[in-house]
A and B are shown apart, each in its own frame.
Chain A
């Protein structure tokens, strides 16, 4: 079980109010991702849930039990840190069994659980090594192993993949998702990478300056961003925003259109522009089109991988009308 509810939780460091009153419910078995730019308070929020920071006011309940004043160890949560925080002087076996030792389990039971966790995480051959002798991905798995042996109510991940190289990151992303599927335990995952959020989450919580901007499933956020911030943050490459006369035609202050919802043509279309940088990825091509009468920013267009358009070409863009997002003066979505 792992239902975590935050009620009117606030956090201040001295005079600085990091988290204004915030309400959030995390259901049992959910994979929740906190995402936002750096400094948005997502890590602080995670540390509040973990109990590593005290809340300034408000209530945190875990499975209906008030956990606001409980010390971290009593909350039944396990955390994986960004730096892995492995104990450098202990072998992998001792690292993983440390929480069990602290819980006072007898050595035989400890060993059994460590072996089981090591098997799940492919660490059996490395149990007698020190963390310093492991690669980044292996250290990450040891940190996860240390978390799963405790059989916690929920896992907390604090940007666990940010120290890995790109290929390994994709692998670990899959492994964590698979782990979630097999354990069916609540997981809360903090990241600044919206790709991680989109690919792993059941529910994404988008944060800015301590405020929750929007909560929803990845596709919900993709389809119906509640405001300009969420619209710009979710989706890669980011949404194009156009304001002014063109937006007024749609009866909005700003309109947004995703790069994948723009059709590009050399001969006909609605908006005219000049191709600037084009990024050929093989599967796709991202074209940065300059259309000065629309917007100063280049408009990004996602197109076929093998398209025959080059720098300096004049092109025409046509948005899919039903995929145009409309926002009002305050940046809120107009339905």
Chain B
């Protein structure tokens, strides 16, 4: 079917989809770029004027900007560590044959289906609340002072909440990868005198390398833009303790009504995300080669 005719027909038929996708992507991107060079404040409609690089200077010299970058990296890194390590351990556990395996596997994936706002609110009000929360209740039961998670360890608490949501995703991908490991390889290693730990580090972990790479890449994409969990729990605070880049862009454009600075922040975020992507691909991309 690879004749000249079928090729041009294929190109012709795929073009509407490509054009639609291009428009879908390019129009918002160009508008954001355009806005980022304007003095554009929602409180002063009709006074838009060309501002050059002023918005960028304003955004990049904002002390909150560096806090936001640092918080973004901590959030992404923290969640990745928890989900990958926890995911590997949970996958190992779920790979064992036990009674009720099917039900447990479904239950494990459940948190992934809870929407971020809901899960964050449940965590905030039912677990972490220093008065009514379950953790406070447990602390009081053993005679300890209840800990106000969101006030004293706000970023760690948000990392915990987000990691809870993403752990099932990592577990599921790593579990399927683990199940695809040839059992004869493990038996051969056993015959070769490898202890369980050696089998894990020399056979299972290398086998999981590709799946772990996929988990890290996919999660990074989504974790760079964590927003709902922050909005409903700490609102970026206290101070800028939990403000990540996404939240900073939101605060600029919709809390301070400065769409111009917000757009500049958006463009900066795109560039930073691409830098992170390049670093990731350099570091772990080779695992994806067959």
Q: Which residues of A contact B (CB under 8 A)?
A: 50, 52, 71-73, 77-79, 81-83, 85-90, 98-99, 102-103, 146, 150
Contacts and interface: CB of A to CB of B under 8 A. Distances in A.
Contacts of A150: 192
Interface in B153-208: 182, 184-185, 187-195, 198, 202-203, 206-207
Nearest to B184: A85
Contacts of B194: 73, 98, 102
Contacts of A99: 191-193
A110 to B, nearest CB: 13
A82 B182 CA distance: 12
Contacts of A82: 184
A73 B198 contact: no
Contact of B187 (A77, A81, A102): A81
A87 B202 contact: yes
A203 to B, nearest CB: 23
Given A98-B192, A102-B192, A87 B187 contact: no
15 contacts: A52-B191, A72-B190, A73-B192, A78-B191, A79-B187, A81-B187, A85-B182, A86-B188, A87-B188, A89-B209, A98-B192, A99-B192, A102-B193, A102-B194, A102-B195
**Which of B190, B191, B194 has the most A CB atoms < 10 Å from its CB?**
B191
Contacts of A102: 189, 192-195, 198
Contacts, number: 59
A102 B192 CA distance: 7
Interface string B255-278: 000000000000000000000000
User: Is the interface on chain B under 10, 10 to 19, 20 to 34, or 35 or more residues?
Assistant: 10 to 19
A85 B190 contact: no
B191 A72 contact: yes
Given A102-B198, A146-B192, 7 more contacts: A50-B191, A73-B194, A81-B188, A85-B185, A87-B202, A98-B189, A99-B191
Contacts of A146: 188, 192
A78 B188 CA distance: 9
A85 B188 contact: yes
B190 A87 contact: no
A81 B192 CA distance: 12
Contacts of A88: 207
Contacts of A50: 191
Contacts of A73: 190-194
Q: Is the interface of A mostly helix, strand, loop or mixed?
A: loop
Contacts of B198: 102
A52 B188 CA distance: 10
B184 A83 contact: yes
Contacts of B187: 52, 72, 79, 81, 85
A154 to B, nearest CB: 12
A90 B207 CA distance: 11
A234 B202 CA distance: 43
Interface in B42-57: none
B193 A79 contact: no
B191 A79 contact: yes
Contacts of B190: 52, 71-73
A317 B248 CA distance: 97
What 7 A-B pairs have minimum CB-CB distances, sorted nearest first? Answer: A73-B193, A99-B192, A85-B188, A85-B184, A102-B193, A89-B206, A81-B184
A99 B191 CA distance: 8
B203 A87 contact: yes
A50 B185 CA distance: 15
Contacts of A85: 182, 184-185, 187-188
B31 to A, nearest CB: 47
B48 to A, nearest CB: 58
Contacts of B182: 83, 85
A150 B193 CA distance: 10
A86 B207 CA distance: 12
A86 B203 CA distance: 10
Contacts of B209: 89
Contacts of B191: 50, 52, 72-73, 77-79, 99
Nearest to A50: B191
A103 B198 CA distance: 11
B202 A98 contact: yes
B216 to A, nearest CB: 18
**Which of B189, B192, B207 has the most A CB atoms < 10 Å from its CB?**
B192
**Which of B187, B188, B189, B207 has the most A CB atoms < 10 Å from its CB?**
B188
B193 A103 contact: yes
A150 B184 CA distance: 18
Nearest to A79: B191
A79 B193 CA distance: 12
A83 B185 CA distance: 9
B235 to A, nearest CB: 47
A129 B187 CA distance: 23
Nearest to A52: B187
A133 to B, nearest CB: 12
Nearest to B207: A89
A87 B182 CA distance: 10
Contacts of A89: 206-207, 209
Contacts of B202: 87, 90, 98
Nearest to B203: A87
B97 to A, nearest CB: 13
A72 B188 CA distance: 10
B154 to A, nearest CB: 41
A252 B146 CA distance: 92
Interface in B18-49: none
A73 B198 CA distance: 13
Nearest to B192: A99
